[in-house]
Structure 1
């Protein structure tokens, strides 16, 4: 069995270009795998602490997954701009705009892909169309990607550093000092509370309470992928540009890895110190969260380079290469499958609830059963994604 697994992994890695940096592919695959794992427990009532998001201020490992992916988007963008034939900026922007529109549309599709067949009074128009959530994970990636392309095309290294500082600075200026008011005329400023911040007020005012994730938050409904918090998320992506620039320098691999380690340690250390005055918060995407997540992403990339490209311990990365090669398709198919598990019924229960209570919970218990369900979901997903990988099918937007 182990010999067969080894051959399987060798076949995957054998098809990759010899000069390709395996570490980035492995990190991308690890990130999307972790995202699907935490999004698909057997039961949301039984999830181990590290696989949950922080309730508000602070962070867990799960909170790092999305910003990791955004930093990787920035790294991939920088590398692709260098590899492809030089195009006019207008043509690159046109392609970026089209790609962003497709990503945004896919995000809306996932929002709308649900119907509650068990409720005879369910109204799709009222409960989905009229209350559609306009922002989300793919929608944020779309907006961040488009803005980062503009910065990548028109800013050099110093300009990119200035852009990061400006994005975080403008974000903080409004969060700290811009006054905002409730419908009753109560004035606030400088708040970082659940449902009470400039970012929450902006989402509530512009998007509307019916079109955000936290609809019942008070005094303002808001979205964790909201409008104002997109600014520091762009800073994450621009940081990815700079990390990729570092990898493209003439330094040897050891020097590059040491540089990533140094940057990662300093960024995490500064973020944790900053937390005392500016809380690390994913839902608000505070600049301290930007520093923390970018720092840990640099450390994770350094670890992958050390294992894959320096020590040549490569076999472990093969499954993640499969997942990472088709990250958007993987995310979409996992989202559709998860929704189908909630839509299809066995008796009066959703198929997912029935599988958990009838199979996984009796066999493995509450928490282990919920985790086992998520791992089974990944294993079945791998069969499909590997089938796509073998046939060279890559879903591009």
Structure 2
């Protein structure tokens, strides 16, 4: 196994103004790649794309309570509540904000005007919305437009990074923090004070919430949950706050400060976020489906904590060999997202490895098949890494 990213590769992969999947860190004017951000992104994308499926399939097979608990943490609650799996997509939105800080600053240092950066991020948003529609609707029902789902993970990332770009280039640290807090407070007030026809105000049930009514009324096409879509219209705004919080973390990391100061500030932000999220949940339940304000604060706080953990181990202590597995994924995050959907790695896994696990009990076969698929996906990404092929938008 090769060591993580030589300087030669870092130079080739430095962030451009239109590429938000990587970050450079140059507080003293020298290009230094944040390997921790690549690793954290890879860890996150592995779970977003379904790389943890084999862990879910382990439930009830080992007789170990800890394994069953981990499996339960990789599924979403039916409505209110929280599991680790709820944290995965918010973490990516946060990471996008961290990367955005470095890429925009690099664009400005290269002499690009704000107007040019707006244009690039707007075009990128449109491309991601299009790719998201393809991903969520394949095969696309071209002749039944009412069955096309418009909400998507990629579309949400595109919208969040575009809006965060507008705010980052015009608002300082304090104003962006105030904007994020203001959005969460307004969202909180809207869900409790705006009456929903037939249900009234403050109804946070599956059928009666304002988010669902807004989607049913204004969002064309198919809604994932029938009465609403968790990637619909109103939830775009609280989700945007995660990317704004990410830009705050990026600002801290980009400062020419001692690592100890950066770590203290990131940890403090994480503790405050988690504390406020739990406190807010006493009245506004933690709910990923609604992207409730308490959910945003909780996951933002967790994102700060995860970022600082990866940063300390990889970029401060320089303990990096273990992170290479995730860095390979993080450098091709869009590729793994689409590969798991459009390439049947589990079928190939069965064809290649089923003879090895055939003697095992039959209920273990899906577990081994999923594990083999994960190995094949990583090998595919490693080959792309060796060939220096990185798919970006």
Indicate the structure whose relative CO is greater, using CA pairs within 8 Å and at least 6 residues apart.
1
Q: Which residue of structure 2 lines up, in the alignment, with residue 196 of structure 1?
A: 208
Matched, 1:90 2:115: yes
One of 110, 117, 124 as aligned partner of 2:135: 110
Contact 1:37 1:374 in 2 (8 A): no
Cα 1:260/1:9, change in 2 over 3 Å: farther
Q: Structure 2 CA distance, aligned partners of 1:224 and 1:353? A: 33
The gaps in structure 1 that reach 5 residues or longer are 1-7, 116-123, 216-220, 342-350
Contact 1:201 1:222 in 2 (8 A): yes
| Secondary structure of the corresponding residue to residue 188 of structure 1 | coil
Q: Structure 2 CA distance, aligned partners of 1:308 and 1:106? A: 32
One of 276, 286, 289 as aligned partner of 2:282: 276
Matched, 1:298 2:314: no
| Secondary structure of the corresponding residue to residue 154 of structure 1 | coil
Q: Structure 2 CA distance, aligned partners of 1:384 and 1:108? A: 25
Cα 1:374/1:274, change in 2 over 3 Å: farther
One of 146, 164, 167 as aligned partner of 1:151: 167
C-alpha deviation, 1:62, in angstroms: 0.6
Q: Which residue of structure 1 lines up, in the alignment, with residue 222 of structure 2?
A: 211
| CA distances 1:97-130 after superposition (whole Å, capped 9, x unpaired) | 1101111111111123238xxxxxxxx556x644
Moved more, 66-75 or 147-156: 147-156
| Secondary structure of the corresponding residue to residue 116 of structure 2 | helix
Contact 2:37 2:307 in 1 (8 A): yes
Matched, 1:286 2:306: no
Q: Structure 1 CA distance, aligned partners of 2:177 and 2:41? A: 24
Matched, 1:51 2:74: yes
Contact 1:37 1:375 in 2 (8 A): no
Q: Structure 2 CA distance, aligned partners of 1:354 and 1:193? A: 42
Q: Which residue of structure 2 lines up, in the alignment, with residue 73 of structure 1?
A: 96
Q: Structure 1 CA distance, aligned partners of 2:359 and 2:163? A: 49
Q: Structure 2 CA distance, aligned partners of 1:194 and 1:52? A: 18
Contact 2:48 2:88 in 1 (8 A): yes
| CA distances 1:241-298 after superposition (whole Å, capped 9, x unpaired) | 0010011122111221122112212211221122111111111111111111111111
C-alpha deviation, 1:232, in angstroms: 0.5
Q: Which residue of structure 2 lines up, in the alignment, with residue 258 of structure 1?
A: 264
Q: Structure 2 CA distance, aligned partners of 1:353 and 1:75? A: 36
TM-score, normalised to structure 2, is 0.83
Q: Which residue of structure 1 lines up, in the alignment, with residue 20 of structure 2?
A: none
Matched, 1:267 2:273: yes
The gaps in structure 2 that reach 5 residues or longer are 12-30, 60-67
Q: Which residue of structure 2 lines up, in the alignment, with residue 238 of structure 1?
A: 244
Matched, 1:393 2:386: no
C-alpha deviation, 1:44, in angstroms: 7.9
| Secondary structure of the corresponding residue to residue 322 of structure 1 | helix
